[in-house]
């Protein structure tokens, strides 16, 4: 047992952090958010060149990472810099594609930055339930068409290819009967794109008899989705951790410079004891991410419990860090101009991705009973 990052991971982390601090200042980021794409295609191409998309995939798919520790260091750096380019959609859809098999060429093109992918799984009435799929697939001869509505699809607008979950059998909430399909954009795919409150591109997607290619066999969807979401949830927790560290650093700096009653406000125990608690909780958060990342290859129950524990703690600790950061900044924390609020928004909105604090608490308990 050890917690050291190996040389490759340290290099990966340093390379990405240096690149971001040179090229991804917050004002630039705000600029990317304001474009039609809501992110920068130029940056995405640079990330591809730097090998950062490849870091999300294992070697057998042409990547050079893909392990929990790789996801951890990449997403922590993305979170520290509030990177809006579609790493998370790529990881989600890419993990599903890799696990389903048969799409090695597409994955290579994704790693090269030539094609973009997203996972269209969640639905308007599904909340956080992974097995909730109303969208249906119909088979005619050897060909499938898909109809249904997909909600809050991250990176859905820019994706050239969508990985879509649809039912080939079973009731709406059944784990059995969920299948995955590859769908290319066409007139049968209606995309309503928007930006999320924290500035990330997402879309509502309507599929009207869209042509689809089956991935990994009928009914194989649930297990593939669960593994893809395990990776993405771990990654988004690492991203949240990076954002929390950044919010904490800004807040500590502010506590040193802001003076009231003739002293830096950090001198007041009412504030500095709360930041001491934030520091302790951030150590716990880092540990939770390590526990999840280090168990992605473990047996299902262990893996999923660690992931749920991590996401639960991410929600509770994240809320503490985000709210304290705003509060300690006082009025400055409430402004658009000062960066801390943007970190707080990202941290809190991550609670709404892939299951919130309560969802994962309940899930952790249920998985414990199944153990």
Partner 1 sequence: MDLAYSQEEESFRNEVRSFLDAKLPARIKTKMKLGKRLTKDDMVEWHAILNEQGWLATNWPSEHGGPGWTAVQKHIFDEECWSAGAPRTVPFGLNMLAPVLMKFGSEEQKAHYLPRILDGTDWWCQGYSEPGSGSDLASLRTSAVRDGDHYIVNGQKTWTTLGHFANWIFCLVRTSTEGKPQEGISFLLIDMDTPGIEVRPIILLEGEHEVNEIFFDNVKVPVGNLVGEENKGWTYAKYLLTHERTGTANVGNSNAALDKLKKIAAEQKKGGKPLSEDPFFAARMAKVEMELNALKTTNLRILAQADAGAAAGPESSMLKVKGTIVRLEINDLARRALGPYALPFSSEALEEGYNEEPVGPDYANPIAAKYFNNRKMPIFAGSNEVQRGIISKTKLGF
Task: Tell me if 368 contacts partner 1 by CB under 8 A.
Answer: yes
- Taking CB under 8 A as the binding criterion, the range among 87-95, 131-139, 160-168, 263-271 that sits at the site for partner 1 is 263-271
99: contact with partner 1 by CB under 8 A: no
Instruction: Report the distance separating Cα 245 and Cα 327, nearest Å.
Output: 16
Q: Does 256 bind partner 1 (CB under 8 A)?
A: yes
Residue (228 or 290) nearer to partner 1, CB: 290
242 lies in the binding site for partner 1 (CB under 8 A):
no
Report the residue number, 125 or 279, with the smaller CB distance to partner 1: 279
Nearest distance in Å: CB 346, partner 1 = 21
- For position 174 contacting partner 1 by CB under 8 A, the verdict is no
The distance of closest approach from Cβ of residue 313 to partner 1 in the complex, given in angstroms and rounded to an integer, is 6
Q: DSSP character for 199?
A: S
Q: 130: how many CB neighbours lie within 10 A of its CB?
A: 20
Q: Provide, rounded to whole angstroms, the least separation between the CB of residue 253 and partner 1.
A: 10
The dihedral of CA 298, 300, 302, 307: what is its sign?
positive
Using rule CB under 8 A, residue 96 touches partner 1: no
Pick the binder of partner 1 from 41, 174, 264, 349 (CB under 8 A). Answer: 264
Which contacts qualify for 40-43: CB closer than 8 Å, 24 or more apart? 40/85, 43/85
- Shortest separation between residue 211's beta carbon and partner 1, angstroms: 43
36 touching partner 1, by CB under 8 A: no
Torsion-angle region of 298 (φ positive above 0: left; ψ -120 to 50: alpha; else: beta) = beta
Instruction: Name which of 17 and 136 has its Cβ closer to partner 1.
Output: 17
Only one residue has tokens 């009914």, namely 219
Binding segment (CB under 8 A) for partner 1, from list 151-159, 185-193, 220-228, 252-260? 252-260
Residues 6+ apart with CB under 8 A from 196: 152, 202, 349
Among the listed ranges 76-84, 126-134, 260-268, 334-342, the one in contact with partner 1 (CB under 8 A) is: 260-268
On whether the CB atoms of residues 275 and 246 are closer than 8 A, the answer is no
Outline where DSSP puts E strands in 216-340.
Answer: 259-260, 263-264
309 near partner 1 (CB under 8 A): yes
Region from 153-161, 186-194, 195-203, 360-368 binding partner 1, contact rule CB under 8 A: 360-368
Pick from 157, 245, 247, 163: nearest CA to 200 = 157
Q: Give the closest residue to 121 by CA, choosing from 95, 100, 152.
A: 152
Q: Degrees (nearest 5) of the Cα angle 45, 90, 243?
A: 85
What span, in angstroms and rounded, lies between the C-alpha atoms of 160 and 136?
21
What distance in Å separates the CA atoms of residue 41 and residue 43, rounded to the nearest whole number?
A: 5
Interface mask toward partner 1 for 316-355; x: CB under 8 A: ----------------------------------------
Contact present, 165 and 221 (Cβ < 8 Å): yes
Q: Does 257 engage in binding with partner 1 (CB under 8 A)?
A: no
**Contact, 182 vs 168, CB < 8 A?**
no
Question: Which residues bind to partner 1, rule: CB under 8 A?
Answer: 1-6, 9, 68-69, 252, 255-256, 264, 266-267, 269, 272-273, 275-277, 279-280, 283-288, 290-291, 293-295, 309, 312-313, 361-362, 364-365, 368
């Amino acid at each position: 047992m050890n917690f050291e990052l190996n040389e490759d991971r340290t290099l990966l982390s340093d390379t990405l952090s240096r690149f971001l601090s040179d090229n991804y200042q917050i004002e630039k980021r705000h600029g990317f958010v304001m474009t039609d794409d809501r992110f920068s295609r130029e940056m995405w191409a640079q990330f591809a060149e730097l090998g950062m998309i490849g870091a999300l995939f294992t070697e057998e798919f042409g990547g050079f990472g893909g392990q929990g520790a790789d996801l951890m260091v990449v997403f922590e750096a993305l979170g520290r810099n509030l990177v809006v380019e579609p790493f998370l959609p790529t990881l989600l859809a890419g993990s599903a594609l890799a696990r389903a098999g048969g799409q090695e060429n597409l994955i290579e093109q994704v790693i090269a930055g030539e094609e973009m992918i997203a996972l269209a799984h969640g639905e308007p009435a599904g909340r956080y339930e992974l097995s909730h799929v109303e969208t249906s697939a119909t088979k005619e001869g050897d060909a499938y068409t898909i109809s249904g509505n997909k909600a809050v699809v991250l990176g859905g607008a820019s994706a050239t290819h969508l990985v879509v979950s649809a039912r080939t059998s079973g009731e709406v909430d059944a784990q059995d009967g969920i299948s995955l399909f590859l769908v290319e954009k066409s007139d049968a795919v209606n995309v309503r794109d928007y930006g999320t409150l924290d500035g990330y591109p997402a879309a509502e997607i309507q599929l009207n008899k869209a042509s689809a290619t089956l991935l990994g066999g009928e009914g194989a969807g649930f297990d593939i989705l669960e593994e893809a979401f395990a990776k993405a949830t771990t990654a988004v927790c690492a991203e949240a951790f990076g954002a929390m560290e950044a919010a904490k650093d800004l807040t500590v700096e502010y506590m040193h410079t802001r003076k009231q009653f003739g002293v830096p406000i950090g001198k007041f125990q009412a504030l500095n004891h709360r930041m001491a608690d934030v520091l302790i909780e951030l150590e716990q958060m880092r540990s939770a991410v390590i526990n999840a990342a280090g168990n992605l290859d473990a047996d299902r129950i262990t893996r999923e419990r660690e992931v749920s524990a991590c996401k639960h703690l991410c929600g509770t600790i994240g809320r503490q860090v985000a709210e304290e950061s705003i509060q300690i900044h006082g009025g400055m924390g409430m402004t658009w101009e000062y960066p801390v609020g943007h970190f707080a928004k990202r941290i809190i909105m991550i609670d709404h991705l892939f299951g919130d604090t309560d969802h994962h608490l309940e899930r952790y308990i249920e998985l414990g009973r199944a153990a």
